[in-house]
Amino acid sequence: MQDFKMWIGGQWVDAHSGKTFATTNPSTGEEIGLVPWADAADVDKAVKAARAAFPVWSKKTQAERSKILVKIAEAIRANAAELAKMEGLEHGTPYKDAFGVAMGAADKFEYSAGIAPTLMGEHIPVKDGTLSYLQREPAGVIAFIIPWNLPTIMTAVKLAPAIAVGNTCVLKPPSINSMIGLKFAEIFSKVDMPAGVINIITGPGGSVGSAMALHPDVDMIGFTGSSETGKRILADAGKTCKKCVMELGGNNPVIIMDDADLDASLKVLGWRQFNNSGQHCSGPGRYYVHEKVYDAFINKFIAYAKTVVVGNPADEKVTMGPVVSREHQNKVEAYIKKGIEEGARLVFGADKPEALKKGFFVMPAILADVTHNMTVAREEIFGPVAVILKYSDKDDIVALANDSPYGLCAHIWTRNIERGMQLVNDLHVGSVFINCQMLTNEQPWGTSVKESGIGKEGSRHGMAEFTDLKLVCINYNV
Ligand code: NAD
């Protein structure tokens, strides 16, 4: 078992209490690493380190900061194989996928280095003799709390734009994927960057995360995770009126119209459903399939599911690893059971091989004949389980799709772009994908719709969230 330390103020430290907790390999159920179990005193130490670094870092020129971000990108690329192995070990991601994700994390730093200099203030014309403008400033000390579903990319998505524009940060990785967060700390430690710009602290959300949200010297919270936790953080952060950017849960409708290209749709949706064991916030939550293509869609989905190779991510042939924890495995399997009990038809669901029973594996499953009010159609399953509903021209598909406490994104498959564009206007969600699914560095993600979040992440828009606009007004006619 490997021992890890936290990265605070440019030093490797244990929790002040000396306590640790173990993280687990989800493919085997074995404990693999011991990480510090921080508490509020450690959070305070990390926030103080970030506060001390703030004047140093924020006063660097943009060009100086961007150069350091490029060096971080290079260091991540140089360590991408190790990061990918770590993600396979602690998160269960197949190596090829994990390597791509690690390289994507490097790109986020390089991209942020490139666009930060283009984020500017604004001149406000007022009257002769007066100069008024908006000056863009970093938000300050930002506390980041991230989820386990995409630990590598989330670390980069949060830290890169935030430090690019002069903020200093304390990041808490999800406790079950703490080793991945601390692997990043090791990479950051090798880059010549002022101490305290990035601090990585490990521990349970309920104590460490909450202490971060409550800390009076944290200026802003950047959170990704479930809507339930998001609401708790908002309540904690509200006590000191912190700015919060929240990327929360979803139960994304997928509308397969009667003229959809089913083969093309399954290439994208099948991958999205089973990649990362279905643990994607933007993934398909509930498929509304037009009755004319319903049977054909299901048959093609089954054919796709049969191609998924489930197993230990270290095996090159494997395309889907375990889900992240025993708790999550139980939750996802309980949803499959509940769906069947409520009347859904399990049209695909292989038995679990004996060799996979020790790990936290959930076999790909397809539930058909689901109806709108069944639990599996209402709640976010977050696993390799496709939930398929039939609709006809008599149904109000917009009302069905919008009837959810979430509004993260929607997917539409149709050859009739005019109908698709009408849906774009009518769906109350933050992002709509028609006949595709992609998210590049230039495209902002996130939404302020319903319980799916507050604010944007990624692109110039997400970076701007990490800044404040100060109004300056000067009477020079004196
Ligand atoms: P979670 O809410 O359980 O945990 C997220 C983080 O919050 C973890 O680091 C956890 O330790 C911490 N935490 C837990 N309780 C806390 C508290 N009281 N105070 C402060 N921090 C606390 O989420 P999860 O299970 O790790 O991730 C899955 C969820 O994340 C899903 O709902 C998914 O939709 C959502 N998600 C959303 C997006 C998005 O972009 N909208 C992206 C990825 C995941």
**What integer is the mean pLDDT of 388-402?**
98
- Residue 261's pLDDT band, with cuts at 50, 70 and 90, is very high
Planar angle of CA 40, 42, 38, nearest 5 degrees: 80
The pLDDT assigned to 350 comes to 82
How many whole angstroms separate alpha carbon 359 and alpha carbon 311? 9
3-state secondary structure of 103: helix
- Residue 380 beta carbon below 6 angstroms from any ligand 1 atom: yes
Cα(151) to centroid(ligand 1), Å: 11
Residues 209, 213, 216, 221: is their CA dihedral positive or negative? positive
> Active-site residue among 87, 110, 247, 333?
247
Helix (H, G, I), strand (E, B) or coil at 219: coil
Average pLDDT over residues 379-395: 98
Closest CA to 158 of 407, 446, 429, 433: 446
**Catalytic-residue membership of 281:** yes
Give the end-to-end CA distance of the chain in Å, rounded to a whole number.
Answer: 70
Q: Average pLDDT, stretch 198-218?
A: 97
Where residue 286 falls among pLDDT bands split at 50, 70, 90? Answer: very high
Give the pLDDT confidence of 407-430 residue by residue, as tens digits: 999 999 999 999 999 999 999 999
List pLDDT tens digits, range 46-82: 999 999 999 999 999 999 999 999 999 999 999 999 9
Decide the pairing of beta strands 130-138 and 467-475. Answer: antiparallel
Q: Is 210 close to ligand 1, i.e. is its CB under 6 Å away?
A: yes
Alpha-carbon distance values, 149 to 47, 131, 173, 275, 279 (Å): 25, 48, 11, 11, 6
pTM of the model: 0.98
Burial class (CB in 10 A: 0-12, 13-18, 19+), 338: middle
Question: What is d(CA 237, CA 214) in angstroms, rounded to the nearest whole number?
Answer: 5
Architecture of domain 252-403+409-440: 3-Layer(aba) Sandwich (3.40)
Contact (CB, 8 A) for 298 and 347: yes
CA distance 4 to 182: 7
The domain over range 2-249+452-472 is classified in CATH as 3.40.605.10 = yes
Q: How far is the CA of 298 from the centre of ligand 1 (A)?
A: 32
Let me know: does 142 contact 220? Beta carbons within 8 Å. Answer: yes
Residue 313, pLDDT score:
95
Whole-number Å distance, alpha carbon 227 to ligand 1 midpoint, is 8
228 catalytic per annotation: no
The Å distance, Cα 225 to ligand 1 centre, comes to 2
- Any atom of ligand 1 within 6 Å of the Cβ of 206: yes
Which of 281, 379, 380, 457 is catalytic? The answer is 281
Structure tokens at 277: 């064991």
- CB count within 10 Å of CB 264 equals 13
Across 358-385, average pLDDT:
98
Q: Is 148 in the pocket of ligand 1 (CB under 6 A)?
A: yes
Q: What does the alpha-carbon distance between residue 389 and residue 407 come to, in Å, rounded to a whole number? A: 19
Which pLDDT value is given to residue 4? 97
Indicate the burial class of 196 (C-beta count within 10 angstroms; 0-12, 13-18, 19 or more).
buried
Break the chain into its structural domains and give their ranges: 2-249+452-472, 252-403+409-440
> What pLDDT, on a 0 to 100 scale, did the predictor assign at position 1?
87
Residue nearest to atom 18 of ligand 1 (CA): 206
